Amino acid sequence: MARLTPLDLDNLDPEQQRVADEIRSGPRGGLRGPFDAWLRAPGLAEHAQKVGAYVRYNSSLPRDLNELAILLTGKHWRAQFEFWAHSRLAIEAGLDPAIVEAVRTGQQPPFTRDEERVIYDFVTEYYATGRVSDANYERARAAFGEAGVVDLVGACGYYSLVSMTLNVFEVELPEGVEPPLGE
């Protein structure tokens, strides 16, 4: 059960309304996921959603690889809503459904491109150790450039914030959707 009562979108204060309108008029088109919680602190909501818009829509990483990093982050934090939402987006972006399923179940994904493995190794090593080895850093830099590595770190950091928000406030999955990461 969600910890927050959904905001009454017809009775937001002026700052909340401004930020909500900005989010709804952007590429997301709605206030799903962490936004209801964040609107309680509209200053955070305003800035976080701008970082998220960059990370999701303007990253230098190819969209499917960016989504892989997001899925790995959602899996790491066991963020059910995040994993559910981005599983669909990852497949739409061209990530093989078998990779999505392997990430979901904790199996070794059947990668067909080295760039997928680079993202996987970089992100999983960081979440396992809190560091990235020189070898994995150099592989990522060679594959995506320095800006790409920064964008990869940005995606993981932003979606860690999203995952924490979803988990702390127990944001519920849509009705009828089973938790993709188990109970």
Q: Give the tens place of pLDDT for each residue, 67-123.
A: 999 999 999 999 999 999 999 999 999 999 999 999 999 999 999 999 999 999 999
DSSP string, 58-117: T-SS-HHHHHHHHHHHHHHHT-HHHHHHHHHHHHHTT--HHHHHHHHHTPPP---SHHHH
List of domains in the chain: 14-57 (no CATH), 63-168 (1.20.1290.10)
Residue 145 has pLDDT above 80, yes or no: yes
Give the mean pLDDT of 115-135.
98
